[in-house]
Structures are given as C-alpha cells and as structure tokens.
Amino acid sequence: MRVGVIGGGQLARMMIPAAIELGVELRVLAEAEGMSAAIAAERVGDYTDAETVLAFAREVDVVTFDHEHVPQDVLHALVDAGVPVHPGPDALRYAQDKLLMREGLSRLGLPVPEWARVETPAELDAFIADHGGAAVVKTPRGGYDGKGVRVVHTAAEVAEWFATIAEDGRAGALLVEELVEFRRELAQLVARRPSGEIAAWPLVETVQVGGVCSEVIAPAPRSAGKLADVAADVAIAIAEGLGVTGVLAVELFETTDDRVLVNELAMRPHNSGHWSMDGSTTSQFEQHLRAVLDLPLGGTGCHEEWAVMVNVLGGPVEGTLADRYAEAFAGHPTVKIHNYGKAPRPGRKVGHVTAIGSDLDDAVYEARAAAAVFQD
C-alpha cells in the first residue's frame, strides 16, 4: 500500500511514523528540498503543475495532502486519470475558499456567523453599519494563522484588499462576518472513509494568540453532554454533506450566548488534533491514513482524562530545539516532545509538546513548562 502526500510540511512528517507502524509506504511530493517531511521518500516538485503531480501520483495507490493549496485543475486531472484522491476536489474546494465554505455550510443549514460576500467598500460599510459598527473581513483564499483576517470598523481599513481583488479575476470578492462574541474556541475532529464510516474524537478547546494556535485541551473542559453532542453532530453533518474523506477539522466558536458556530474547516490532520498522537488510541495521522485507504477506522478514546498540547512557536533564538533536549527531558520526563525539524524563526510552528494525565492543572503546567524550555 502506497500513500502519496502532496506537501512536505510537518503534517506530512507526522504521518511517517503512523505509516511505518502500519507498514504503509509513504511518499511525499515536497515543495522544496530539506522540508519537514524530507525523511520520507521525498520528491521535490511544483504541486501546481499537473504533469509533475500526475507523475508522482502514478507511483502511489491514493493521493492525499499536507495542505489545501493544490489547484482544482490539478486535482481534476488526477481524478480524470483514475487516481483516488482523498479528500476529492469537490470537497476540498470548500476548504480552499472561505466564501464557498460559508455558502456550503449555509446551504446545509449549519450554524455559522452572519456573513456576506462583498465586492465593494460601500457593500462592506453597509454590512458594518448593520452589525453594530464592527465586522471581521477575510480574504477568501490563501489565508492561514490569522493572516487574511482583520477586524474592521470601516471599509477603508481593508482598502488594499479591495484593490487586490479588483485585479484578481478569480476571487473578485471578500468575505465579511459579524464579529462573534465568543467565550472560547473549540475544535471537533472527525475522520470519514470513502465508504462512509465516520469516527469522532472528543471535542477540544483551542487557544489562539495573535491568530495562531498556542494550546489545545482535550477534551474541552465543561463540554460533556449537550455541547459535545452538538459539535459532533455538526462535524458529521459537514463531513457527510460536503463529501469529505480523511480527517476533517471543524473550528468552532462557543458564543457568550451559548451557541456553537462554525468558523473554519480543514480537510487534513490539524493542529487541534496533535494531542491525539499521545492522548488517543488512534492518532489523527494514523486515522487519516486508514481513512484515505478506506480501511476500518481506529478507536478515538483517550488514554488519560486529559491531554494538553502546547505549540513551540519560534523556538530558540540561537541553535536548535535539540540543543535544549537535555534540559527538557530531565525536567519533564512525562511530557512527549515533537520536533518538526524546521529552522527556528519568530512565530513559526517548529514543534509541540503534549502532557497527559488525570489532573488538568498539572497537565497544563507540565506542557507549558516543557514548551517554555524551547523558547527564549
């Protein structure tokens, strides 16, 4: 069994141990030499070039992804050539374009923030006026880690985005949403096989700093019961309604008036599921491989009551993560450390740590303290 992963980042890298354990051969089409996943049988090539991607795909049984940036025409070229692609282009387009995603979720009747497609500053100002004088504007494509997301009080604050879309025939519009008053952010991960089986992990709480995920607590505190059921139902409805295969991450807002709204979708393993590598019977990376190969899914129960994942953002100013191993391992022997093999750079996700246990405060303390060893 051979799985081809397009994209050589840390998500592809973390699929490697899962593939080795299952005896699955993993091949990676990386964007450049020396990327995070370079230790897999790596090809380097342009994922926007259909010939390059087709040549890569001919050597594997199924193609999947480390990111959602492969263009639709390339994805369709694979499908037309008979290559199994999971998630397929018709699902993936909802994760590639936030306007399409809002349209798709609204069509399915799922709870989303109030939103509109705006093509002119006047339309945006009208939306802002109707929504209490503030709104969140998003570029439909290419945003990540909070880039391409801006809270505004007037359309003038995104004048350059309007200038860009005027030149860009593809997008032609911005997404505007109500500024949601949320108590916290949550994420629901599920995995779905092409033949339909779905497995859901527990709902988790995610903490964002400056638009970047910093911590995840699994399960989300005070989420047992109705909240967990609602979140799982929403994610399952999305997976089925949009025909998603593989891992689907649904980012959610828990509003101050106790509603659950869908913020974002990712159709691949996701930062909010990294805890599962050490905290769940089946990690999101193993589950993704099982799902895209259309094999029965693994259990999603937890080893301990709590798992806390903290990202290592930036890393040490001088040297590498490994330079701090002696201190981290000695001080935090129960914490699991994951190094993405990337050069430290301010704000960059270079690794994560996970602590599991029966006491939440203790797990939070341990994970934060271990992550701090790697940061100046």
By the rule CB under 6 A, 128 interacts with ligand ADP: no
Instruction: Pick between residue 189 and residue 370 the one whose CB is nearest to ligand ADP.
Output: 189
Q: Cα–Cα–Cα angle for 219, 147, 320, nearest 5°?
A: 70
Instruction: Pick between residue 66 and residue 178 the one whose CB is nearest to ligand ADP.
Output: 178
Are 241 and 195 in contact by the 8 Å Cβ rule? The answer is no
Judged by CB under 6 A, the residue of 20, 58, 130, 146 near ligand ADP is 146
By the rule CB under 6 A, 289 interacts with ligand ADP: no
Least Å distance, CB 266 to ligand ADP, is 8
Least Å distance, CB 153 to ligand ADP, is 14
Q: What is the DSSP string of 2-48?
A: EEEEE--SHHHHHHHHHHHHHT-EEEEEESSTT-TTTTSEEEE--TT
Judged by CB under 6 A, the residue of 90, 123, 125, 145 near ligand ADP is 145
**Between 38 and 67, how does the x/- string for binding to ligand ADP read (CB under 6 A)?**
------------------------------
Least Å distance, CB 132 to ligand ADP, is 12
Least Å distance, CB 99 to ligand ADP, is 12
Give the footprint of ligand ADP on residues 235-264 (CB under 6 A).
251, 263-264
Are 108 and 85 in contact by the 8 Å Cβ rule? The answer is no
For ligand ADP (CB under 6 A), the number of binding residues is: 19
Give the footprint of ligand ADP on residues 77-116 (CB under 6 A).
113
175 SS3 class: strand
Give the HSE-up count for residue 72: Cα atoms under 13 Å, Cβ half-sphere: 11
Phi/psi region, residue 146 (left: phi>0; alpha: psi -120 to 50; beta: rest), is left
Q: How far apart are CA 374 and CA 317, in angstroms?
A: 9
195 SS3 class: coil
Query: Taking contact as CB under 6 A, which single stretch among the options 146-154, 162-170, 287-295, 298-306 is the one that binds ligand ADP?
Result: 146-154
| Among candidate residues 127, 119, 123, the one with its CA nearest the CA of residue 164 | 119
Q: How many helices (H) and strands (E) does the chain have?
A: 12, 17
Judged by CB under 6 A, the residue of 30, 136, 217, 337 near ligand ADP is 136
Judged by CB under 6 A, the residue of 44, 100, 173, 180 near ligand ADP is 180
Instruction: Pick between residue 58 and residue 147 the one whose CB is nearest to ligand ADP.
Output: 147
Query: Taking contact as CB under 6 A, which single stretch among the options 73-81, 145-153, 285-293, 337-345 is the one that binds ligand ADP?
Result: 145-153
Instruction: Pick between residue 143 and residue 314 the one whose CB is nearest to ligand ADP.
Output: 143
By the rule CB under 6 A, 175 interacts with ligand ADP: no
Burial-class residue 210 by CB neighbours within 10 Å (0-12, 13-18, 19+): exposed
Query: Taking contact as CB under 6 A, which single stretch among the options 21-29, 172-180, 222-230, 270-278 is the one that binds ligand ADP?
Result: 172-180
Q: How far apart are CA 227 and CA 233, in angstroms?
A: 10
Structure tokens at 342: 């990337």
Least Å distance, CB 150 to ligand ADP, is 9
Question: Is the peptide bond prior to 71 cis by the omega test (within 30 degrees of 0)?
Answer: no
Q: How far apart are CA 151 and CA 43, in angstroms?
A: 40
Least Å distance, CB 374 to ligand ADP, is 23
Give the footprint of ligand ADP on residues 183-222 (CB under 6 A).
185, 208, 211
Query: Taking contact as CB under 6 A, which single stretch among the options 156-164, 178-186, 273-281, 363-371 is the one that binds ligand ADP?
Result: 178-186
Query: Please, what is the angle between helix 284-292 and helix 10-22, to 10°?
Result: 70
Instruction: Pick between residue 43 and residue 259 the one whose CB is nearest to ligand ADP.
Output: 259
- What is the amino acid identity at position 13? R
Q: Phi, psi at residue 321, to the nearest 5°?
A: -60, -40
Structure tokens at 124: 């945006």
By the rule CB under 6 A, 366 interacts with ligand ADP: no
Judged by CB under 6 A, the residue of 76, 120, 144, 240 near ligand ADP is 144
> Which residues are near ligand ADP by CB under 6 A?
113, 136, 138, 143-146, 148-149, 177-180, 185, 208, 211, 251, 263-264
